[in-house]
Chains A and B, each alone.
Chain A
């Protein structure tokens, strides 16, 4: 009973005074402890949990990949594939690619990077990435021809080999040691040895709390200046720590008080707090931004009917959705291009219906013509992901205004991703509609764009459009010889996808980051990376 003895030393009346005194002393006496030299503390958009950048397409895991792995090729700001770990030569018939690894590539455990490592990594990647799967169907062989060289032989022309190998997002071509890359692609890796500019400090990793990356002293950067994922990855800090903060308000406070140097995604409504702080810079680092979109389930009524899908598209509109999601004209943009606006393939083909929305009266008329019987639409709303939570709420209102019956079902994101995999009827746990977001490089071509796949129940992405015509058009795109031809086919694909309502893009947005003014040289690119940046003390 020590507390009684302790308490008895005080007279009750002294207590309040003593406590106040103690708290003042505590607060005033202990100013913030100095941060470790050359450490960047960053709050990323989410906590990292899955450490295998091939098994998952989660952006945070991809960002982790860029820290500790190097990629085979890089992509520069002109969207051109560039050598990164390897340079290449293409045979005259365009069917054989020979890759040569550059000198000085060493894994974190000291072993040199060999062609065998690259080949094993590419094969594992090819089992999981959607575009890569398509490419591997056209690959006759992929084999090491020496310690530093390997060869990729196509059985038929495939036009975007280099673009796929260089793609900055989705699943980039992270190169791992062969022993790691031999892990089945449906099983997470447990050995985090890479050859990238940072080393993952496993001992300090606390899922949901922090991940620590230390500078890889042995890394030899390329000589070219950095440009997106191409060029030299010169690291100027000793350590980068990703701190997880589940509460956005807390994170904004922490970046405001200097406890955090970099906040990857700031909530729009809190920008005034950050912008008023002279120690901070608020800027958009990713020039391309995000596409937010709705997907309808082709298997379940009423969206099994194309006419009703079109009515839903007429009912929706980009303006109200963007207003609720972003609410700041500086960071939002209407865009009818399924490939994202400002990308090489951008086109507005077929986008009139969504661009002119919302048109409740028109949608009502279309619904009537289609004979809609009032079947409720199960619209799934993830409550715990701020960047996808508002869209369904606004959409529910818009659809109701057009005469749809809407059952807006709130759930956590995890339930949503589980449930959207269900092909069952609504009565047995199925669904009709949900929203999600992509960064533009994930949707910018018919090969990358996960939705533009007409493979039906077996092959297509959630929603399962059974659309052989779409797949035929995609194959034509892959085989197309010239840039012009690719553009034409891409526009045709988009017009067709809008016609059948493959999916409904509901606008683009950019997310500003908050940076401490101590940071200089943060690269502007679609993926946040921590090379090139410097921190002043």
Chain B
């Protein structure tokens, strides 16, 4: 899930500016309400993740082979998995993993992408080299790159995080760069250059603030797609190990019981979908609210 409509401006060597004019906008009627519901749902998931140890009736990795694949009961609201572990507790802890992956990927992608994009937008030579590398990275399908990294390096939470983040970085770099390219033509930036402001100052004071709005929007999409990618990696056998429950690996381990015990896929799947849905809606809202250009052209 590397691509998202809002990051459309990305063909190698393409002219992003042309296409940015056509960025899509969500216009769900009553967006305000949807955004509130989304924020509420997301807050619930965050609370779930934070208080997982308190809320979980069981240790998420404690096995009880004598109680395998139990149906739901008061003791096990979501039933148990193939090792007799409590799926409810695992789903709660899974919220932690998914949020770590989602937020981690967004944060790291921005932290690495922002300085690279700023530099690249400013120095032409560096730009030429960096953009070739970014184009190359971007041309490798993200999912294949991620599978390769996880399979080759080992499947811990951190490898998965790195594997999901690397393909996102070029998109952030490109985004920041395109903002910088247009911002540096602005009079106040040119003025700052002429009066001999130091380079870090120009970048930090004048250029970086321009990138905040698009970065926030981009980060929400990175976050959503990272959570989804983690699930897909687990499904393909290149995910996080079973002692770190994640929604992806609960579903992946439960998938052969799809017909017998759909709850193994249903519950984590439901939480996963709600979370991604909520992040997507918030991202759309943030874009509409933060992008003055889009705001002006809004027709509804």
- B8: Cβ under 8 A from any A Cβ: no
A394 touches B65 (CB 8 A): yes
Could you say which residues of chain B place their CB within 8 Å of the CB of A390?
Answer: 82-83
- A142: Cβ under 8 A from any B Cβ: no
Could you say which residues of chain B place their CB within 8 Å of the CB of A270?
Answer: 256-257, 259-260
Could you say which residues of chain A place their CB within 8 Å of the CB of B83?
Answer: 324, 390, 393-394
Q: In the bound complex, what is the Cα–Cα distance between A394 and B65 (angstroms)?
A: 9
Chain A stretch 246-271: residues in CB contact (< 8 A) with chain B: 247-249, 267, 269-270
B63 touches A397 (CB 8 A): yes
Partner of A411, one of B62, B155, B258: B155
A267 touches B256 (CB 8 A): yes
A-contacting 9-mer, from B98-106, B187-195, B237-245: B237-245
Partner of A393, one of B63, B156, B255: B63
B107 to chain A, nearest CB (A): 25
- A323: Cβ under 8 A from any B Cβ: yes
A323 touches B151 (CB 8 A): no
- A57: Cβ under 8 A from any B Cβ: no
Q: B54-78: contact bitstring with A at CB < 8 Å (1 yes, 0 no)?
A: 0000000111011011000000000
- B269: Cβ under 8 A from any A Cβ: no
B151 touches A269 (CB 8 A): no
Could you say which residues of chain A place their CB within 8 Å of the CB of B256?
Answer: 247-249, 267, 269-270, 386
Chain B stretch 111-154: residues in CB contact (< 8 A) with chain A: 151-152, 154
Could you say which residues of chain A place their CB within 8 Å of the CB of B240?
Answer: 410
Partner of B151, one of A248, A273, A408, A412: A412
Chain A stretch 408-427: residues in CB contact (< 8 A) with chain B: 408-412, 414-415
Decide yes or no: A412 and B243 within 8 Å by CB, A320-B65, A323-B65 being known contacts.
Answer: no
Q: In the bound complex, what is the Cα–Cα distance between A412 and B151 (angstroms)?
A: 7
Q: In the bound complex, what is the Cα–Cα distance between A249 and B255 (angstroms)?
A: 8
Closest residue of B by beta carbon distance from A385: B237
- A98: Cβ under 8 A from any B Cβ: no
- A383: Cβ under 8 A from any B Cβ: yes
A415 touches B257 (CB 8 A): no
Q: In the bound complex, what is the Cα–Cα distance between A267 and B152 (angstroms)?
A: 28
How many residues does chain A have at the interface if contact means C-beta atoms less than 8 Å apart?
A: 28
Could you say which residues of chain A place their CB within 8 Å of the CB of B260?
Answer: 269-270, 272-273
B155 touches A383 (CB 8 A): yes
Q: In the bound complex, what is the Cα–Cα distance between A327 and B243 (angstroms)?
A: 20
Could you say which residues of chain A place their CB within 8 Å of the CB of B237?
Answer: 383-384, 412
Could you say which residues of chain A place their CB within 8 Å of the CB of B62?
Answer: 397
Q: In the bound complex, what is the Cα–Cα distance between A410 and B245 (angstroms)?
A: 13
Q: In the bound complex, what is the Cα–Cα distance between A411 and B241 (angstroms)?
A: 8
Partner of A273, one of B156, B239, B241, B259: B259
Q: In the bound complex, what is the Cα–Cα distance between A248 and B253 (angstroms)?
A: 12
A117 to chain B, nearest CB (A): 41
How many residues does chain B have at the interface if contact means C-beta atoms less than 8 Å apart?
A: 28
Closest residue of B by beta carbon distance from A256: B259
Partner of A269, one of B154, B156, B242, B257: B257
B70 to chain A, nearest CB (A): 12
Could you say which residues of chain A place their CB within 8 Å of the CB of B154?
Answer: 409-411, 415
B157 to chain A, nearest CB (A): 10
A96 to chain B, nearest CB (A): 52
- A396: Cβ under 8 A from any B Cβ: yes
Q: A360-397: contact bitstring with B at CB < 8 Å (1 yes, 0 no)?
A: 00000000000000000000010110100010011011
Q: B220-248: contact bitstring with A at CB < 8 Å (1 yes, 0 no)?
A: 00000000000000000111111100000
Closest residue of A by beta carbon distance from B154: A411
A383 touches B242 (CB 8 A): yes
Could you say which residues of chain B place their CB within 8 Å of the CB of A248?
Answer: 256
Q: In the bound complex, what is the Cα–Cα distance between A324 and B156 (angstroms)?
A: 23
Could you say which residues of chain A place their CB within 8 Å of the CB of B84?
Answer: 324
Q: In the bound complex, what is the Cα–Cα distance between A108 and B63 (angstroms)?
A: 54
A410 touches B242 (CB 8 A): yes
B68 touches A410 (CB 8 A): no
B65 touches A269 (CB 8 A): no
B241 touches A324 (CB 8 A): no
Q: In the bound complex, what is the Cα–Cα distance between A269 and B83 (angstroms)?
A: 12
A324 touches B155 (CB 8 A): no
Q: A432-450: contact bitstring with B at CB < 8 Å (1 yes, 0 no)?
A: 0000000000000000000
A303 to chain B, nearest CB (A): 21
Q: In the bound complex, what is the Cα–Cα distance between A272 and B156 (angstroms)?
A: 34
Partner of A410, one of B66, B82, B241, B255: B241
Partner of B82, one of A249, A324, A415: A324
Closest residue of A by beta carbon distance from B236: A384
B259 touches A324 (CB 8 A): no
Could you say which residues of chain A place their CB within 8 Å of the CB of B63?
Answer: 320, 324, 393-394, 397
Closest residue of A by beta carbon distance from B85: A393
A381 touches B65 (CB 8 A): no
Could you say which residues of chain B place their CB within 8 Å of the CB of A397?
Answer: 61-63
Could you say which residues of chain B place their CB within 8 Å of the CB of A249?
Answer: 255-256, 258-259
B238 touches A412 (CB 8 A): yes
A409 touches B241 (CB 8 A): yes
Q: In the bound complex, what is the Cα–Cα distance between A340 and B152 (angstroms)?
A: 35
Q: In the bound complex, what is the Cα–Cα distance between A324 and B241 (angstroms)?
A: 17
Q: In the bound complex, what is the Cα–Cα distance between A517 and B151 (angstroms)?
A: 40
Q: In the bound complex, what is the Cα–Cα distance between A445 and B287 (angstroms)?
A: 70
B242 touches A327 (CB 8 A): no
Q: B194-210: contact bitstring with A at CB < 8 Å (1 yes, 0 no)?
A: 00000000000000000
Closest residue of A by beta carbon distance from B255: A249
Could you say which residues of chain A place their CB within 8 Å of the CB of B65?
Answer: 320, 323-324, 327, 394
B300 to chain A, nearest CB (A): 20
Q: In the bound complex, what is the Cα–Cα distance between A51 and B81 (angstroms)?
A: 37
B63 to chain A, nearest CB (A): 5
Could you say which residues of chain A place their CB within 8 Å of the CB of B257?
Answer: 269-270
- The 8 A-B residue pairs with the shortest CB-CB distance, nearest first, are A410-B241, A323-B65, A384-B237, A324-B65, A248-B256, A249-B256, A410-B155, A320-B65
22 residue pairs from A and B, CB less than 8 Å apart? A269-B69, A272-B260, A273-B259, A320-B63, A320-B65, A323-B66, A324-B84, A384-B237, A393-B83, A394-B83, A397-B61, A397-B62, A397-B63, A409-B154, A410-B155, A410-B241, A411-B154, A411-B155, A412-B151, A412-B237, A415-B151, A415-B154
New contact pairs (8) apart from A269-B82, A323-B68, A390-B82, CB-CB < 8 Å? A270-B257, A270-B260, A327-B65, A383-B239, A383-B241, A383-B242, A397-B61, A410-B154
